[in-house]
Structure 1
Amino acid sequence: MTDIPILFEDGEALVINKPGGLPIERPRKGGRSLEEHFEQLRLGFQRDPVPVHRIDTDTSGCLLLARNPKSLKRFAKSFEERKVEKRYLGILAGVPEGEEGIIELSLSKISSAEKGWRMIAAKKGKASITHWRLVTVVDGRALVEFRPETGRTHQIRIHCEAGLGIPLLGDPVYGAEGLRGKGAARTMLHAAAITIPRDGKPPVDAAAPMPADFTALGFSDG
């Protein structure tokens, strides 16, 4: 048995509901990680399942694991070819203008001794595209649905800050001065659903319920 919730299971794939705040790989300084659960997540198979993609440590929700090398290769190709549908929910530390739109930015990685590394919008960066839609507003904060076409590092987080002009609630890196890391115990981003098409088989299709720290702020995924 495993204490990691399983949202989808067959011979090729697992989709788990990763808890917010749990890193996938063991941190250099030690501590809890999803790696500790891989043996439990074998569920009778001989191999540990392998994450096909990455979501940030703070991000909760759907994470696809491949159960054999062949499926890992096929799923990775689906991500590369942008065939995977991903739906995220995020709580902004404010309310955006408009009700929906498309954010298109070129992103680059920078680093400094003072702030460490982060992504920035830069003309010479890699293209990134996110579709967004306002879901609801509670107490001056907006619940927004994001459907990213590309999968750049920190894409939704930097798109909120640089594209919408409002950071995700609790974001310690991209939050505005005075807002960084405040208002929530984590960056409020949730991987709500994922669909991966498969040739000759039904798609891998999973949805993760809204986490308790979202509902505690008055939001629901209606």
Structure 2
Amino acid sequence: MSTPPVSATAPPPAATAIQHRSVAPEEADTRLDRWFRRHFPRLTQGALQKMLRTGQIRVDGKRAEAGTRLLAGQQIRIPPLPEGPALEAPRRPPRPVSPEEARLLERMVLYRDASVIVLNKPHGLAVQGGPGLTRHLDAMLDALRFGQEERPRLVHRLDRDTSGVLVLARSAAAAAKLAAAFRGRDVEKIYWAVAVGRPAPAAGRIDLPLARQSGPRGERTAPAEPGADKAARAVTDYRVLDAAQRRAAWLELRPLTGRTHQLRVHCAQGLGTPILGDGKYGGAAAMIEGLPPLLHLHARALRLPHPEGGVLEVAAPLPPHMEETFAFLGFDRPRTPPPRRASR
């Protein structure tokens, strides 16, 4: 008995098994829809949204949205999908890093040992890829192997327009420990910002819940009522380090939670003093004539548990546009201390 021919145009059979995949350390803080796009590039956005709406896709057993930010180690439930190579991400070798890009990355290095690399990320460089982004840090990490077999891994992220301290792990074991530290809030973060206006009082705590909202210009973060649907608690400690009368202030910001765009919304909505250059959340009120129209938010320092023991403290110098603004406003440009690894 002969077997009937299979049509070349017939769709592949549906997979019958539900899958569960763990989020890798280097995928921490990736949006759920981008995670699916990376692993299943032929899955359409419409099909993904339908599976999310019906609860077929879950993260750690809970319903999720396309914009949900993932944490290392979380379990993603994947419903049956069509099988075949069309749905599996093509395994392409990373694009070659040019000599110019390699030199740029090496100049970013603030600290390096066998487990950790710390960079001073410049303003305007995206950490990970996305729609319309062809140049980003994640695609260039091979240039930072420094003789090791393993490729460095991202364990947290900064927004494209935020400069400053960014930590990489040099092994899977180090990545797991660092990701757990960031997830468990064992990392102390200090940001510097130049705000338009002067907050009153000069120091305090902003406890303002936030929620992600979709709009015609894409997603944004907005204040939310406590207990409201999708609202997440967001807390930031702040203090004024210097001020140019009431025109602008140099702020130290210490986020105690890690919500998307938390500091930008807390400054604009919680304090009423938007970060200079933040047109998205401050509009025209976030600009000062004669100063660079770039976001003035800098990840100044981190204090975190080192994967091999002890504590690592690293600080990053100001980016050029913030140095220019500090000089214009008369703020003292502070010395940047050298990296320090010490016992607890």
TM (normalized to structure 2)? 0.60
Instruction: Tell me which residue corresponds to 2:27.
Output: none
Q: Distance in 1 between matches of 2:275 and 2:114?
A: 36
RMSD over equivalenced CA pairs, Å: 1.8
Q: In the alignment, what sits opposite 1:6?
A: 109
Structure 2 residue 267 is the aligned partner of structure 1 residue 160: yes
Q: Contact 2:196 / 2:286 at 8 angstroms: preserved in 1?
A: no
1:136 aligns with 2:239: no
**Structure 1 contact 38–48 (Cα < 8 Å) conserved:** yes
- Aligned with 2:149: secondary structure? coil
Which of 111, 114, 118 is the matching residue for 2:220?
118
Give the Cα–Cα distance (whole angstroms) in 1 for the partners of residues 233 and 297 of structure 2: 21
Unaligned runs of 5+ in 2: 1-101, 336-344
Kindly indicate whether residue 153 of structure 2 is the aligned counterpart of residue 50 of structure 1.
yes
The Cα of 1:130 is off from its aligned counterpart by 0.7
Aligned position for 1:190: 298
Amino acid at match of 1:159: H
> 1 or 2, which has the higher helix percentage?
2
SS in 1 for 2:305: strand
Q: 1:9 to 1:208 in 2, by over 3 A?
A: same
Amino acid at match of 1:122: A
Match of 1:169 in 2: 276
State the Cα distance separating 1:62 from its structure 2 match: 0.1
- CA 1:22/1:199 → structure 2, altered by over 3 Å: closer, same or farther? closer
- Alignment coverage as a number of residue pairs: 220
TM-superposed CA distance for 1:45, in Å, is 1.3
Number of the residue aligned with 1:38: 141
Q: Which moved more, 1:43-52 or 1:80-89?
A: 43-52
1:100 aligns with 2:199: no
User: Which residues of 2 match residues 197-208 of structure 1 at below 5 A?
Assistant: 197-198=305-306, 201-208=309-316
- 3-state SS of the aligned residue for 2:209? strand
Q: 1:146 — aligned with what?
A: 253
Question: 1:13-51: CA deviations, max 9, x gaps?
Answer: 111000011101234324432134311111111122111
Q: Are 1:22 and 2:125 counterparts?
A: yes
Greater length-normalized contact order (CA 8 Å, ≥ 6 residues apart):
1
CA contact 1:13–1:204 (8 Å) conserved in 2: no
Q: Which residue of 1 aligns with 2:339?
A: none
* Shift in CA distance, 193/151, structure 1 to aligned 2, threshold 3 Å: same
CA 1:181–1:27 in 2, change beyond 3 Å: closer, same or farther?
farther
8 Å CA contact 1:210, 1:221 repeated in 2: no
Cα 1:163–1:189 shift into 2, 3 Å: same
- Residue by residue over 1:158-187, the C-alpha shift from the partner in whole angstroms, topping out at 9 and shown as x without a partner, is 1101111111011121014x2357753321
Query: 14-23 or 184-193: which moved more?
Result: 184-193
> Matched residues in 1 for 2:152 and 2:257: separation?
24
Pick closer, same or farther for the CA change 1:104–1:8 going to 2, 3 Å. Answer: same
Higher percent of residues as strand: 1
Deviations along 1:110-140, one digit per CA (max 9) or x if unpaired, are: 0112x32100111221111111010111372
Match of 1:79 in 2: 182
For residue 135 of structure 2, what is the amino acid of its counterpart? R
- C-alpha distance in 1 between matches for 2:110 and 2:268: 31
Question: SS of the residue aligned with 2:174?
Answer: helix
Residue pair 2:275, 2:286 contacting (<8 A) in 1 also:
no
Could you tell me which amino acid in structure 1 is paired with residue 123 of structure 2? Answer: G
Where do 4+ consecutive residues of structure 1 move more than 6 Å?
none
Contact 1:21-1:186 within 8 A present in 2 as well: no
Structure 1 stretches of 5 or more lacking a match? none
2:338 is aligned with 1:221: no
Asked if structure 2 preserves the Cα contact closer than 8 Å seen for 1:62 and 1:206, the reply is: yes
Looking at CA atoms only, which structure, 1 or 2, has the larger radius of gyration?
Answer: 2
